[in-house]
Amino acid sequence: MKHEIVIIGTEPPCPRCDYLTRMVRDIVEVMQLDVPVRHIAYTSNEALRIASESGLLPGTAKDVAKRVATEVDWDNIYALTDGPSPGHDQASCCGSAAQKWSPALDEALRPCQEKSGEAGIMMTPVLVIKGKRVHDGCVPDRVQVAEWIRDAFDVAPSSGSDEEVIEILGVGCQKCDMLHARVATVLTEMGIAEKVKLKKRSDPGYFAEKGVTMTPGLVINGQVVSMGRLPDSDQISQKLGEYLGLPKKAG
């Protein structure tokens, strides 16, 4: 079985597929796993092979609705995916389809998920861990996804250590990457890079949980210290000193 995680969805990714992909990548980053995370199209030969192992065909909610009678409010679904982000008040420097996901979208498509087996469809989004299909048809709970990944890759539960943690919140644009690089440089210059965990967080759900309404966000030990801007090195070292009790960057 492959030492990887695969999300099967539409191409380009729809809100649900993109959200699940970013959630999984975020969990892998937090767990510090060296595990590839790939998104593939449900129309690919690889997706067809995975579905066929369960006697199914890969497809979307619309494919389910075409095969079996399903009552779906498509106007509501289009409003949820085309309108303002319904689940989070997220303005972002690096917008993504994932920001259009909300629990309401999954609930609106629940009739299709419930009929997917009858329709013979492996319904997107699909989560495959180490070659095993573990979930399909909706975005699963983050805690459950983390448990599946932990079990599959034998990851021990967090020890709850007192190690300092700095997080960069963003879905991966140049501005977010610049902030990550700048913080890493400051940590190195201050001689504490080996004592601090620097993490990239890419799950929009986590952004909302932290109250970050505009990326990039800078979080130190759970405290949001900056959002929607790119602080300079002196400002970053000042925040480190303020929240970690560390000396300011020399010079």
Q: Are residues 13 and 49 in the same domain?
A: yes
Q: Is the peptide bond between 84 and the residue preceding it cis, with omega within 30 degrees of 0?
A: no
Q: Are residues 144 and 240 in the same domain?
A: no
Q: Are residues 31 and 124 in the same domain?
A: yes
Q: Are residues 52 and 117 in the same domain?
A: yes
Q: Are residues 178 and 114 in the same domain?
A: no
128 vs 238: CA distance, rounded Å = 43
Residue 78 lies in a domain: no
pTM exceeding the 0.85 threshold for the entire prediction: no
Q: How many domains does the chain have?
A: 2
Q: Are residues 133 and 237 in the same domain?
A: no
- 243 phi-psi bin (left φ>0, alpha ψ -120 to 50, beta other): alpha
Nearest to 20 by CA among 30, 10, 32: 10
> What pLDDT shows up at residue 83?
56
Nearest to 115 by CA among 77, 81, 71, 52: 71
Residue 146 lies in a domain: yes
Burial (CB count within 10 angstroms: exposed 0-12, middle 13-18, buried 19+), residue 38: middle
Quick one: which H or E segment has residue 15? helix 15-31
Compute the C-alpha angle 120/125/129, nearest 5°.
95
Q: Which amino acid is at 158?
A: S
Q: Are residues 42 and 134 in the same domain?
A: yes
The enclosing domain of 136 has a CATH number of 3.40.30
The stretch 61-76 carries a mean pLDDT of 94
Q: Are residues 127 and 235 in the same domain?
A: no
Residue 52 pLDDT exceeds 90: yes
User: Which of 91, 117, 152 finishes a domain?
Assistant: 152
Residue 79 lies in a domain: no
Residue 87 lies in a domain: no
Q: Are residues 19 and 50 in the same domain?
A: yes
Residue 21 lies in a domain: yes
Output the furthest CA–CA distance in the chain (Å, rounded). Answer: 69
Residue 92 lies in a domain: no
| Cβ neighbour number for residue 97 with a 10 Å cutoff | 20
Q: Are residues 147 and 171 in the same domain?
A: no
- CA 170 to chain CA mean position, Å: 10
Interval 82-141: pLDDT, tens: 755 444 444 456 667 888 888 999 999 999 999 999 999 999 999 999 999 999 999 999
Q: Are residues 64 and 121 in the same domain?
A: yes
Residue 122 lies in a domain: yes
Spatial neighbors of 62 by CB under 8 A, at least 6 apart, are 112
**Residue 249 has what DSSP assignment?**
P
> What pLDDT shows up at residue 85?
47
Q: Are residues 126 and 185 in the same domain?
A: no
Residue 86 lies in a domain: no
The enclosing domain of 174 has a CATH number of 3.40.30.10
Interval 195-241: pLDDT, tens: 888 999 988 888 888 998 888 999 999 899 999 999 999 999 999 88
* Phi, psi (deg, nearest 5) at residue 132: -110, 125
Distances (CA, A) of 7 to 16, 105, 117, 214: 11, 18, 19, 26
CA torsion 205→143→56→107, rounded to 10°? -50
Domain encompassing residue 40: 5-72+109-152
